Homo-oligomer: A and B are copies of this chain.
Amino acid sequence: MTLQTTDQLQAFKQLVRKIKSYHEAIGLLHWDMRTGAPRKGTEIRSETVGVLTAEAFRLEVSNEMEQLLEYLTQPDVLKSLSDDDRRQVENSKKDYDLNQSVPAEKIQEYSVLSAKAQTYWEEAKHNSDFPGFEPYLSQIVALKKEFIDYWGVKDTRYDTLLDMYEPDMTVQKLDKVFDRVKTRLVPLLEKIQASPNKPDNSFMKQLFSEDQQEKFGLFVLEQMGYDFDAGRLDESVHPFATGLNPGDVRITTHYLQDDVTSAIFSSLHEGGHALYEQNIDPKLAGTLLAQGTSMGIHESQSRLWENMIGRSRPFWERYYGDLQKHFPEQLKDVEVEQFYRAVNRVENSLIRIEADELTYNLHIIIRYEIEKMLFNEGLDVKKLPEVWNAKYQEYLGITPPNDGLGVLQDVHWSGGDFGYFASYSLGNMYAAQILVTLRKEMPEFDTYIAKGNLLPIKEWLSDKIYRYGKSRTPSELILAVTGEDLNPDYLCDYLENKYNEIYNLSL
């Protein structure tokens, strides 16, 4: 590496660290607003977030950044960098190109519009009033289409959006993957619905004190290996995980007094996200690679802990006794087997975020197909409720009684987050695929869980996935870990096996 390259690389890294400082502050401002900032301070607080966000963006598209990237992306220079540094420069260049391609006034227009749209969406959802929301959504879709032109159309317009959440993911790949999932899971769901062996979850509707729920949740997080010296657990309306810095990865949960499982699984879920960020190689700290490599891979880690481990029989064989101790009255007549079956009950429901492991994927496929229609096939926004309801009838056999429980249920579109939903299902698929390798390389997997020895699992995941952060792309990572590309059959196998057994199906 030449002396000049060393200097330029140094300057680049310093600028990146500065930008990351802004992101840490913005992350804390958000975390605080969601966990307990006083109501009357939110208006000015939002301004403060706006000022810092604008400043971080200004640095990202600054002349300084432009010149550094111009120098560092010269082929000779790029070749002389270490793998991690090269990856960092390439990622930055991609972000820079995206960021500066859209005229500033368009970004301004978009941010005003989406702020408004989110407010109107809440109202519209509450009143099941799609026509009232439609004009805003139409404008967002139109503006997003303009953005795609600025960003550059990949194979299709929708490909451009997919790539932003899951690098290198394409419509071509996803069509195949989701078709396979549909082909295998829709019939499975029909068999489950026809089965007379439905898990009994009638005991769920009781009062469970928040205090005891919190104690059990903290215990489970400790068991997973979540590091409380590098994080903390709080409560918020919607659970989330946020990595402020590698030594400060926070999670939240939400306690429902009449459903003890909600907070448990959300803690396992957010705990999974947090383990990923807590265990990124310290040498990447302060770089752009100190984060999850994609939404899909991030989600695979939350779902692996929530579902593949947390909803497994060995897990409850080990931990159900502890849960009973926290709720001796409520659970005294419930056997572990009944509990295990109850947390795995499949239900054709209307709401994505309440869906079980199986139907969840169908909720996602519906959204994927509709987004593709919006961006690639000219679907009119006005037609959304009609298309939505038809697809729910087709895949899940139910029709929403109103748009609040249908097309208006998710916040994503009001914020312009098209292309995001697929990540959730990709997470399930990656997780199932990784699980197969994990079981192969760790034959004691089930025994470890049944003994409450979860740390070897965390170590394996750290070694194979977490530590790399964003230094491997999702496709590189899944290939390196499992020896093959994304393959949806693993998820289908996993779900078939699980539900065959629980519902006693004869496939």
- Listed in ascending order, the chain A residues whose CB lies under 8 Å from chain B are 17-18, 21-22, 24-25, 28-29, 32, 36-45, 47-48, 50-52, 55, 227-232, 244-248, 250, 285-286
Contacts and interface: CB of A to CB of B under 8 A. Distances in A.
A264 B45 CA distance: 30
A227 B40 contact: yes
A371 to B, nearest CB: 35
A247 B17 contact: no
B44 A24 contact: yes
Task: State the number of copies, please.
Answer: 2
A245 B36 contact: no
A248 B21 contact: no
Given A247-B44, A285-B44, A286-B44, A231 B24 contact: no
Contacts of A247: 38-44
Contacts of A244: 41, 45
22 contacts: A17-B51, A18-B51, A21-B52, A22-B52, A24-B44, A25-B25, A25-B28, A25-B29, A25-B52, A32-B32, A38-B229, A38-B230, A39-B230, A39-B247, A40-B227, A40-B247, A41-B244, A41-B246, A41-B247, A43-B247, A45-B244, A45-B248
A429 to B, nearest CB: 33
A462 to B, nearest CB: 16
Given A25-B29, A38-B248, 8 more contacts: A24-B48, A28-B29, A38-B232, A39-B229, A41-B244, A41-B247, A44-B246, A44-B286
Contact of A47 (B17, B39, B45): B17
Contacts of A40: 227, 229-230, 247-248
A286 B48 CA distance: 11
Contacts of A52: 21-22, 25
A230 B41 contact: yes
A245 B25 contact: no
A49 to B, nearest CB: 8
Nearest to A286: B44
B24 A232 contact: no
A36 B28 CA distance: 12
B51 A21 contact: yes
A37 B248 CA distance: 7
Contacts of A248: 37-38, 40-41, 44-45
Nearest to A227: B40
Which 8 pairs of residues, A with B, have the shortest CB-CB distance? A41-B248, A40-B247, A41-B247, A21-B51, A40-B230, A44-B245, A21-B48, A25-B25
Contacts of A29: 25, 28
A36 B227 contact: no
A42 to B, nearest CB: 7
Nearest to A51: B21
Contacts of A38: 228-232, 247-248, 250
Contact of A21 (B39, B47, B228, B285): B47
A333 B248 CA distance: 48
A480 B43 CA distance: 33
A51 B24 CA distance: 11
A31 to B, nearest CB: 9
Contact of A32 (B28, B43, B231, B246): B28
Nearest to A41: B248
A56 to B, nearest CB: 11
Nearest to A248: B41
Nearest to A37: B248
Contacts of A24: 44-45, 48
A402 to B, nearest CB: 33
A282 to B, nearest CB: 10
Contacts of A230: 38-41
A248 to B, nearest CB: 3
A67 to B, nearest CB: 20
Most buried by B among A42, A43, A45: A45
A226 to B, nearest CB: 11
Contacts of A48: 21, 24-25, 245
A286 B25 CA distance: 20
A38 to B, nearest CB: 5
Contacts of A286: 44
A405 B365 CA distance: 69
Most buried by B among A41, A50, A51, A231: A41
A45 B28 CA distance: 11
A251 to B, nearest CB: 11
Contacts of A228: 38
Nearest to A26: B25
A368 to B, nearest CB: 37
Contacts of A42: 247
A347 to B, nearest CB: 38
Contacts of A39: 229-230, 247
